[in-house]
Structure 1
Amino acid sequence: MTIHVWDYLPEYEKERDDIHDAVDTVFRSGRLVLGESVRLFEAEYAAYHGIGHCTGVDNGTNAVKLGLQALGVGPGDEVITVSNTAAPTVLAIDGAGATAVFTDIRPDTYLMDTDQVAAAITPRTKALLPVHLYGQCVDMAPLRRLADEHGLAVLEDCAQAHGARRHGRLAGTFGDAAAFSFYPTKVLGAYGDGGAVITGSPAVDARLRRLRYYGMTDAYYVDETPGHNSRLDEVHAEILRRKLRRLDEYVAGRRAVARRYEEALSDLTGPGGLVLPAVAEGNDHVYYVYVVRHPRRDDIIEALRGHGISLNISYPWPVHTMTGFAHLEYAEGSLPVTEALAKEIFSLPMYPSLPRETQEKVISALREVLTGW
């Protein structure tokens, strides 16, 4: 049987009764759209972050898009972000009518190089969009200073950072708003698509609620455009309510898997060898994915396929190199760290219910490949 980087079935077997009860609770409620489960999840997710407001939406892409729109970003504006991210981050900027402007990333953590942001600001810049990638936080202090100095909005992309902290503070609580994805693979994942935006601003939250519901405050009357049909589903909300209570447990499980990798593979690091994840000072990493690096990445992936192990690359193509984003006019070589990284990174299996024996098979196969060269 092939070993994959993610598998929900072990977790489902453990939580099956609770998941079934969640579905039954919704089906028996008499309300299938924007009912009690969404309302309660929004309140509980906001409370988890110690923040005032949460609006549930249909997916993480629209969480970013609606978050930008609720912060006043629109056509003609620029949003500074990174190219080393999932394409939906930039698709959401496009969807809001704005233009993505990229900075390069740090070569150790693979996160936004905040030292480059000031030079990227122009009179058209409206927002900063840091991506808390792979499970740890961008250094938010310099971004907050720049935003305050230039009158910019800050929207955090927290799709990969549920429960991550920087100097004890949760991801999503540094900016004016923060977007989350609850895609099944996430640290906090639904059984389908889902997303949310949290904010401390009542005005931003009120606009988010209109935007997700056709631009309406009351049924049948559109207050503003563009409106969307972007509601979080009741079933997913109820499942997320149950799983939110176990979020810290999921994070602890991921950290345990990461520790086992580090203990077993650290002797394979060094010049020209395997590069394990670096955790920035002050960060509490939640290891959404366990991204390693090696100059012979493609050979390793092919060799491990022969052992029945299917690995993943997050991400093989930087956004600025994709033909779908040619309109952004970034030439090859314009983001050298991002481009070099994309040729060498790959992800090892990572999820909290990863069986120890499965992880040991991956470690053994990887060691066999690397020590055999």
Structure 2
Amino acid sequence: MTPLTSPLHDRHLAAGAKLADFSGWSMPIEYAGGGVLAEHSAVRDGVGLFDVSHLGTGTVRGPGAAAFVDTCLTNDLSRIGPGQAQYTLCCVPDGEPGAGGVVDDLIVYVHGPDDVLLVPNAANAAEVLGRLADAAPAGIAVENRHAEVAVLAVQGPRSLQVLELLGVPGEIGYMSFVTGTGGRGAEVTVCRTGYTGEHGYELLVDADRAGETWDALLEAGQDLGIRPCGLGARDTLRTEMGYPLHGHELSRDITPNQARAGWAVGWRKPEFWGRQALTAEKEAGPARLLWGLKATGRGIPRPGMPVLDAAGERIGVTTSGTFSPTLRTGIALALLDAPAGVAAGAEVAVDVRGRPQAAEVVTPPFVPSHVR
């Protein structure tokens, strides 16, 4: 099957991007003239621009739309109001195989009690929106707008300056959003959030205006050293923060309790998909927990590698692993068996292609976060 392409595909080709298939989309992994390390550093020290239009978008509209979504997804939407966004999870409902597992993690934008925008992950957008559509009562419409909306991320300590130069509103609170006009007249929804641990924004714009918005952002940030960044840097940045990636730290087989994402569950709510299974697991204690691993040897951990205790016994598996450009060493996220009793500071080993490599158990993030 031919991969789908972003509305910015021609820009990526012109910039010499290295493209790869990501959840069925042809997306830039890195750009010519620097690569992942330079792009990572641009975000930590200055500002980077990402195309994340592979992310899904969908609307839920009708009388009581927000209240309906709140009965399905884990987090408590009553804690936020119009103009605010919230990280949440779509879990497998009770009564289905794998109840409590994570179908997807996503961001919910609340425009009002009758108007909600969802931004799920690329591979899961159709299923999340399909499940909501199947469950929606009469009068509430769920619409998949994946092909209609582009998503750009401006991330880094100079991100606000770029938006100000473009005339886009940026002085907003964390996980808040506003709608404004970009430098070339395109209407954009600007949310102060991101996936890098830095001060930053995600911009939602109509797909047919994405190209000119991308160009305007690069032009506005030229003197600030803005750099287009690919999904390679996005992965190293999010791993340094310990942020989960669906299919790695969250999945149908990895629950929010195991992934330490219970903070995104409204435990006091009377209803959400998977509530009974997750509550029972929380009370019993999950069989495994997510930890960070910081390599003390030279090996670079990758996903799916066994984690060993001091006696060489397997106690878990890495879910993500990479070289940390900030720390200049290997780091990983790993699910470790709860009975192993590991704690921060413990010494373990990662089986890197048959060679045990020493690592220290840590509590993420690996580097300080600057999102708030």
Higher relative helix content: 1
Tell me the TM-score normalized by structure 2. 0.34
Higher relative strand content: 2
Tell me the TM-score normalized by structure 1. 0.34
Larger RCO, structures 1/2 (Cα 8 Å, 6+ apart): 1
